[in-house]
Amino acid sequence: MAKRILLFLITNFAIFVTLSIVLNVLGAFGFRLYGGNLSSLLVFCLVWGMGGAFISLQLSRFMAKRITGVQLVDGHTGREELDWLYATVQRLTQQANLPLPEIGYYDSPEVNAFATGPSKSRSLVAVSSGLLRSMRRDEVEGVLAHEVAHIANGDMVTMTLIQGIVNAFVMFVARLVGLFIRQSSDSRSSYAMSFMVQIVLEIALGFLGMMVTSWFSRQREFRADYGGATLAGRERMLAALRRLAANRELVDPNQPALATLKISGGMSRMGMLFSTHPPLEARIAALEQMR
């Protein structure tokens, strides 16, 4: 745990330093300097909003391997189930006309799989040892097809774009209102008021932004289910979802920061509007209606 926390802090510090250098080059570092210049404010918000999201995307494969402890496989491990895993992902990516991703597994009792990476040519598909133990091979194939479909759909990049736009919008609107309040009066209280309003707006708009990104995340799960059904067959995809529903207690929903590394998720504590995954029952029903 300590190693993961240290890695997280180092990564975020690196992102901060990188963005600070970029903002210095653009002449927009320190939003206190933009004064009444809205173009500088917009540059600041776009760089921080989009830049942070894209740096996280570039690091996603590296971070996923470090956080979960993924061990890569090459199809020649001598362990029959791992060589089967490699051959299955290889076949599914060939069907989807994709470059072969890195393929791996990690030791965990959790029933889980995920795909991540900054591009279709630099992606990773990984499964937990718990999933390999708890599912039949036709069910695992459905899960793998779902993850390959995420890569084929470009979901990681699209999610990053949406998150970056939302981040920039929240920052821009909150700071614009704060700027208006400061310029409306020369009193010292206007500065304190503008700061407080900015903080409140960032929190409120941040929640609205979470609704937008969560909605898109739920939609991409449906699309990945359809893509998985196309690659592996609808019955395999349905079998995988039904097995996940039967073993839902083996998917840990208590780490929202790792929600993108989950194949399914329970109801968010704050309600369905903030859930990154649709209910498994809804996904099963949608796939059963697939023609």
Cβ of 279: how many Cβ atoms within 10 Å? 17
Q: Which of 147, 202, 235, 249 is catalytic?
A: 147
Say whether 281 is catalytic. no
Closest CA to 169 of 53, 55, 50: 50
Strand order across the 71-72 sheet: 71-72, 102-106, 122-128, 113-119
Burial (Cβ within 10 Å: 0-12, 13-18, ≥19) of residue 173: middle
Is the distance from CB of 76 to CB of 83 less than 8 angstroms?
yes
Cα distance between residue 27 and residue 34, in whole Å: 9
| Secondary structure class of 33 (helix, strand, coil) | helix
Cα distance between residue 128 and residue 140, in whole Å: 11
DSSP states of 88-129: HHHHHHHHTT-PPPEEEEE--SS--EEEEEEETTEEEEEEEH
Q: Rg of the chain over CA atoms, in angstroms? A: 22
Q: How far is CA 30 from the centre of its chain?
A: 28
Cβ of 63: how many Cβ atoms within 10 Å? 17
In total, the chain counts a number of residues equal to: 291
Closest CA to 227 of 173, 167, 155: 155
- Could you list the active site residues? 147
